Amino acid sequence: MNINIIAVGKVKESYIKEGIDEFIKRLTPHAKVNIIEVADESAPENLSESEIEIVKCKEGERILKKIKESDYVVALDIKGKKLSSVEFAQRIKFTQISGHSTIDFIIGGSNGLAAKVLKRANFSLSFSLMTFPHQLMRLILLEQVYRAFRIINNYPYHK
């Protein structure tokens, strides 16, 4: 299985990078993980709603260029469906047995994801009603993907 994390922006904090690297290493027996970064659109803090949409659209175009037609796409979106870790593992397993060899997880920038990206997604996933920094979300996502593979393979980790 191939897992792509397509994310807007770069991770700057070394402690987050170390955590990401650790979970990528742990996932090696289960999946090939690729982090694909797309440039974030520079914008001032106080944007109007229409300016936010323009930023999201520009970032969205960059994201969509990284997605292959055959990929199963999961958009991380606060309005998405909330799953338990076991339900998340079941979704990954179902995706595998449904013939998808690649899952793309999409993490937007600070303004969220463009409507075009959400429309392309096969599934929208919410981790919480809370807002997380998008750099930290990569680490949280990788930990949950690792936990999912542990659950799928009946290894003692998920409790």
129 is in an annotated binding site: yes
130 is in an annotated binding site: yes
107: β partners: 7
149 is in an annotated binding site: no
Cβ atoms of residues 101 and 50 within 8 Å? no
Could you give the CA distance from residue 103 to residue 92 in angstroms, rounded to a whole number? 8
98 is in an annotated binding site: no
Q: Choose among 117, 115, 112, 108: nearest CA to 138.
A: 108
Cβ atoms of residues 76 and 106 within 8 Å? yes
128 is in an annotated binding site: yes
102 is in an annotated binding site: no
28 is in an annotated binding site: no
108 is in an annotated binding site: yes
Q: Which residues of 11-33 are buried (b: 16+ CB within 10 A; e: fewer)?
A: beeeebeebbeebbebbeebbeb
Q: Which residue ranges are tagged as binding site for S-adenosyl-L-methionine?
A: 76, 108, 127-132
Q: Which residue ranges are tagged as binding site?
A: 76, 108, 127-132
